[in-house]
Structure 1
Amino acid sequence: MVDLVSQLTHRKKGYTLEAPFYTDPEIFEADMDVIFGRHWIFVGVDVDVPEPGDVMVVKVHQTEVAIVRDDDGVIRAFHNVCRHRGARLVHDDKTTVGNLVCRYHSWVYDTTGALIHAEHMGQDFDKSCHGLKPVHCRSLEGLLFICLAENAPADFDEMERQIAPYLAPHNLRDAKIAYEHDLLEHGNWKLTIENNRECYHCGANHPELTVPLFAYGFGFDPKELDPAEREHAENYACMLNDNHRDWESQGLPSKEIDRLDDMVTSFRTERLPLAGAGESHTLNTERACKKLMGNLTNAKAGALHLWTQPNSWHHFMGDHAVVFSVLPIDAEHSILRTKWLVHKDAREGIDYDLQNLIGVWMATNQQDGDLVGYCQQGVRGKGYVPGPYSPHTEMLVEKCTNWYVGRMMAHLAQTRAVA
């Protein structure tokens, strides 16, 4: 049995985790209990269930959650389990219903989760005691989060207070999903997140993604720069400050907020400029969709990024948005779920070309998936020892790892105190 307390206590700051954190089934189950079972998890967008009666099912390890827009337009979440004898209730990833009907014995629930019909249960049976079991569900300006715990972390409100003004101009609730894609990654979920939290690897591995990106926006060692490179870095810093000032004067909050390692519900956001035409994550750096998001009038709105712990990252541009979630399967496999959003009135083939819209991130996701697989193969072997993070380009990976260790330690300390 893995001594999780010892493993966490002796973790060396500034280094990757010991191999069992990426390979051991017991630690994976602890991750599912503590991290994915007790924190806010990003699972989709409001427009996954755009109309009353629309349902989306999300699987978080062994737990399925049905997310439903009720008849009054309120988005709710329930365990996807009939309250009679535990049958799976909704069988499709997405569907539309009048009521939720169990196929086993035809118990019927309305879209608020209330049991409204159950035959042959006797006169003393109280339907009001057998509604669907609710799951905490919150929408952050159109981004959907759930929490499986009985008591969800209360600091979601603080994240919402700080992040909502950044997201509001993009108006995700007035968008539609143009495309979505699931990629099976042969790696532990933490390797996927670690890979995302840095761009140290980007230059050598992402020829499509780096076209619209500025190299100096993702960290560098100033001592390694020659005079020309130092001048370029200084110019980028000035441009970033100028862009932040200009965007904020237009009502687009832009300056960095970094709460990756000092909140339970942790996050980071910043709006960054794009190179070339400066409009979008496309190979020609021009907008992929003619119709802009929300009420934006300027395609050169940069790229607003948002990370939330433990399982998401997102990019919001003037013309479209891309949202990502990591859903663990087992200790060595994960699903990366990506959704591309455009304005709800944008027409495929007229306002946007789908392949142009999704091309950069379809390529980048596969490249990252391959890299995660290489890491998983490496950490399995006897030659693996924790390696050092770069203090100049991987400082945010360190913050994410610190958050993970801190949340696991806090739970174990609480468990020991109760015992």
Structure 2
Amino acid sequence: MPEATPLTPGITSGRLSADTLSENFDDLHPAYAPHEAAVASDRCYFCHDAPCMTACPTDIDIPLFIRQIQTGTPEAAAKTILGQNILGGMCARVCPTETLCEEVCVREVAEGKPVEIGRLQRFATDTLMGAGKHPFTRAASTGKSVAVVGAGPAGLSCAHRLAMHGHDVTLFDARAKAGGLNEFGIAAYKSTDNFAAQEIDWLLKIGGITVETGQKLGGSLSLDKLKSDHDAVFLGIGLSGVNSLRADGEERDGVSDAVSFIADLRQASDLNALPVGRNVVVIGGGMTAVDAAVQSKLLGAQNVTIVYRRGLDQMGASKFEQDLASSKGVHIVPNAQPVAVHGNGAVKEVEFEYTTTSDGKLAGTGETFRISADQLFKAIGQSLEGAPEGLTLEGRKIAVSDTGATSLGGVWAGGDCASGGDDLTVTAVAEGRDAAEDIHATLMGGK
């Protein structure tokens, strides 16, 4: 993000002291100590038909790993987790467990307080990774090579599973660092101590994976060349385009996308040098909107408002995320859509129109209002950019089968760029893993 200019006087750095910033961006959910994990695991009923497993996109055997923690074998628990979700450490930190496994926990249904599955998963995976161990061994080389484009959750998951099967994998990414949204798109208070990079270093211990950064599909990489140089290709390129507000004045200074703001924050070596507005408005209703809004507040913004075009119950951000935002002083305004961005060169106010929904259709009411803003973040979704020719699209994403196969032979895709998913880290991991199994079966003549 650029430094404040005369056109954006309200955007400045150094609003808070270094000590306050350190406290503000501390771990959202502190790790369990061993005795805390023992107590938490003892609350599990170890259900035979565990609904938590059904709710987990990666099908982790949750009762088994919790019992393994209870019996004092957290490293065994970690292997149970990682066998299904190789990025189980990050998912334990960022997965919306409150709307997945924990929401259907029998304890939640009966008592309103679920077993804290996410924190128990973190305890197990952190224990194993802290010991420097990698629980999987690489199979004998198959002599086959696979190109994986995109080193985000889907690509990393796919690459690890392929390498474990004995294939040679080259993992390409357009950025200077691997990790995708885990590295660039997650709120800093959810992933502290450079954990995303640590997890990648640990994952690569399987061997057989070469990482090449600064390599972009459509730029230095072409799909035709990748197909000719490798036996298979997996695309986990994510969504790099930012949707437009379609509001007058969107081009004014002080208006930017929330994803870039979060990326800048995650890569900042000194949060005190990161500028933020005094009056910040975030347009959108998903987790990116909440992450941008909360972090703006934690950086020292005085007034932060999230505006969403539909009702609170339709926000992509979970009730937990909404409550988190409110607890940090973020004001959420539902049922309003942007009309215009006002200001003389830089944003000064954002005009909104109240909305109503009838039979699922959104409509403006004609009544408008304005909110003061010197910084406006767009968090209204992303779009696929640079999809190679020849790939069939479904809507704005790459059309894939249940196992990630695209319309082009020898090419698979998964994660946010592919159709069918719900744009969660844990779902991307599952899609990368399943595509890798399909690629392996195909390369070895099983299909």
With the length of structure 1 as denominator, give the TM-score of the two structures: 0.23
TM-score by length of 2: 0.22
